[in-house]
Structure 1
Amino acid sequence: MNILISSTKKEPLFQQIMDQIKAQIFSGELKEGDALPSMRQLAKDLKVSVITTKRAYEELEKGGYLVSAVGKGTFVAGEDPEILKEWQISELEIQLENVLQKGKKLGLTKEDMIERIEIYYEEEL
């Protein structure tokens, strides 16, 4: 598991850890049953507080991404592909909501936003 965090980003450290773990689950890099490092080990590796890694793991567990077993560790939860896709769509909708809020603050209309989406959608990424 490869996680890179930055103290210069706006997002809190625990959120950066969560986002990267989720991205690795979505991409298939982390699969059902894969063991994650202990909270202490991850904190040591990332040079952050154990409280930071604890919060990230707890939030991911609440969201159904991870399961913890006392004395055994923390593992990627097992989900079928449809549920995984729903998680990805939910994450996308959160990002879309943030983009729309920024667009409204800039005074862009719905049509302005749709036009931009259409342009980017047609581009090869």
Structure 2
Amino acid sequence: MKLIINNSSMQPIYEQICTQIKNKILSGELKQEEMLPSVRTFAKELRVSALTVKKAYDALEQEGFIVTVHGKGSFVSGVNQELRMEEKRKEVETDLEQAIRKARSCGMTEAEIRELFELILED
């Protein structure tokens, strides 16, 4: 599996792994019940610590994206449509928050931000 790890990013490596695997699952690139690489194999491939990959897999399992079967490996779980939509909503919310912060840092008032938002919605 191809992932891009940015060592100069402020985002921790395990979060980069989580985000990219989530995106592959949500986009359908990784299918339900598809086996993920073993922790050791994936760590070698990514040139990171096995503990980093394990932390990413644990986080993905906690969020319901993967299931780990002791002695067999980690597999993509059945991600339901509701979970997919919730993840997309979170992404949109994050993007909007960043845009609002940027607008405020430029000195825009709340009214100006709302007006701009309404204009964009009309398109």
Q: What residue identity is the alignment partner of 2:72?
A: K
CA RMSD of aligned residues (A): 2.3
Residues 1-125 of structure 1 aligned to structure 2 (within 5 Å): 1-114=1-114, 115=116, 118-119=119-120, 122=123
Matched residue SS, 2:29: coil
The one-character-per-residue Cα deviations of 1:50-103 (angstroms, maximum 9, x if unpaired) are 111011000111111111000111011102223322222223323433443454
Q: What is the alpha-carbon distance in structure 1 between the residues aligned to residue 81 and residue 121 of structure 2?
A: 27
The count of corresponding residues between Structure 1 and Structure 2 is 122
Q: By how many angstroms is 1:118 displaced?
A: 4.8
CA spacing shift, 1:116–1:50, aligned 2, 3 Å: same
Q: Larger radius of gyration, structure 1 or 2?
A: 2
Unaligned runs of 5+ in 2: none
CA spacing shift, 1:121–1:86, aligned 2, 3 Å: farther
Larger mean Cα displacement after TM superposition, 85-94 or 27-36: 85-94
TM-score by length of 2: 0.82
Unaligned runs of 5+ in 1: none
Larger mean Cα displacement after TM superposition, 74-83 or 87-96: 87-96
Identity over aligned pairs, percent: 39
